[in-house]
Amino acid sequence: MRIGFIGCGAMGSAIIGGIVAGGICGPEEIMGADVNAETRERAGARHGIMVTESNKAVFDWADYVFLAVKPQFLAGLIEEIAEDVREEQVIISIAAGWSLDKLGEAFGRPVKLVRVMPNTPAMVGEGMSAACAGEGVAEEEMEQVMALLSGFGKAQQVPESLFDAVISTSGSGPAYVYMFIEALADAAVMEGMPRAQAYEFAAQTVLGSAKMVLETGLHPGALKDMVCSPAGTTIEAVRVLEEKNFRSAVIEGAHAAAERSREMQKK
């Protein structure tokens, strides 16, 4: 299986690294193209993959091709490479705001398309990806795509109708978590803890808490209750967070991200 990447920036490189580290494909089975020479050479040196400045070279060589460019550059890229896509190739887009219908219209002819929404924790092998297949993608081809996505974290097939929810939760979600970690660390610094130590305590707390949700299968509310001793410190903090509309702020922020995603698809 030959895997191509158009775009070797942060997300493209993260996906490549996860695929190689997960043993899904060897670096000799991956080719990446990027308009920026420094970016593509860095990806080649870091992952041991073949790199080129030619998008056409990738399409001539690969069986599966990731379009890992920013959404605002995707229309121009598709216009450039549409004629190079072979009938049997599977094209995997990770661009927010580009539905399968919008992608199909841009190509202007039947193409095997898979829409994917990964997130930045893919860089450390802990990504969360959603995927949905367009018409013409065979079951075994989709299984290959899911195997690739599982190389850098968890992956699930999700109806495209839920992609705005995916974007607002896992796609944009890391930013909300980083803001929480920063705020929690700031609180520790306010209490006298050194900055570097505060970041480690806050980040590890989030990591461990998330792992408990995934591995115990318990409701997050039940896990929260386990920490809240009667008349204790935690329940007092929870009281203040509720008073400040903490949960409502998170819900409204994620809803705004979903609304923006819907707006982007209309353009």
Residue 23: the pLDDT is: 86
At which of 134, 163, 192 does a domain end?
A: 163
Output b/e per residue, 182-216; b: 16+ Cβ within 10 A: eebbeebeeeebeeeebbeebbeeeeeeeeeeeee
Please determine, for residue 12, whether its predicted confidence score (pLDDT) is greater than 80.
Answer: yes
Give 233's Cβ-side CA count (13 Å radius): 0
State residue 239's pLDDT score. Answer: 97
In a shared domain, residues 129 and 60? yes
**pLDDT 10s digits, 237-257:** 999 999 999 999 999 999 999
Domain of 251, CATH number, reads 1.10.3730.10
In 3D space, the residue among 204, 208, 211 whose CA is nearest the CA of residue 185 turns out to be 204
Residue showing tokens 């775009």: 7
Judge if 144 and 176 occupy the same domain: no
Considering the entire predicted model, what is its pTM? 0.89
Higher-confidence residue of 264 and 167: namely 167
Q: Give the percent of the chain with pLDDT over 70.
A: 100
Average pLDDT over residues 250-266: 92
| pLDDT exceeds 90 at position 264 | no
Looking at the structure, tell me whether residues 97 and 118 fall in a common domain.
Answer: yes
The pLDDT tens digits of the residues spanning 74-113 come to 999 999 999 999 999 999 999 988 999 999 999 999 999 9
What pLDDT, on the 0 to 100 scale, is given for residue 79? 94
Better-scored residue on pLDDT, 124 or 146: 146
Whole-number pLDDT of residue 123:
83
Domain boundary among 142, 163, 184: 163
- Flag whether pLDDT at 265 surpasses 90: no
When pLDDT is cut at 50, 70 and 90, the band that residue 132 belongs to is very high
Instruction: Based on the fold, state whether residues 149 and 230 are members of the same structural domain.
Output: no
Q: Count the domains in the chain.
A: 2
Query: Closest Cα partner for 53 from 8, 109, 101?
Result: 8
pLDDT in tens, 153-162: 999 999 999 9
Amino acid at residue number 152: F
Spatial strand order in the sheet of 64-67: 50-52, 30-33, 3-6, 64-67, 90-93, 112-117, 127-133, 153-157
Residues contacting residue 122 through CB under 8 Å, at least 6 positions apart:
11, 14, 15, 18, 129, 152, 153
Instruction: Provide the mean pLDDT of the chain.
Output: 94
Q: Are residues 118 and 157 in the same domain?
A: yes
Average pLDDT, stretch 180-193?
98
Strand partners, 30: 3
Q: Which of 62-66, 70-74, 137-141, 215-219 has the lowest mean pLDDT?
A: 70-74
Same domain, 86 and 180: no
Q: What is the pLDDT of residue 124?
A: 86
Tens of pLDDT, residues 111-128: 999 999 999 898 888 999
Q: Which domain holds residue 190?
A: 171-266
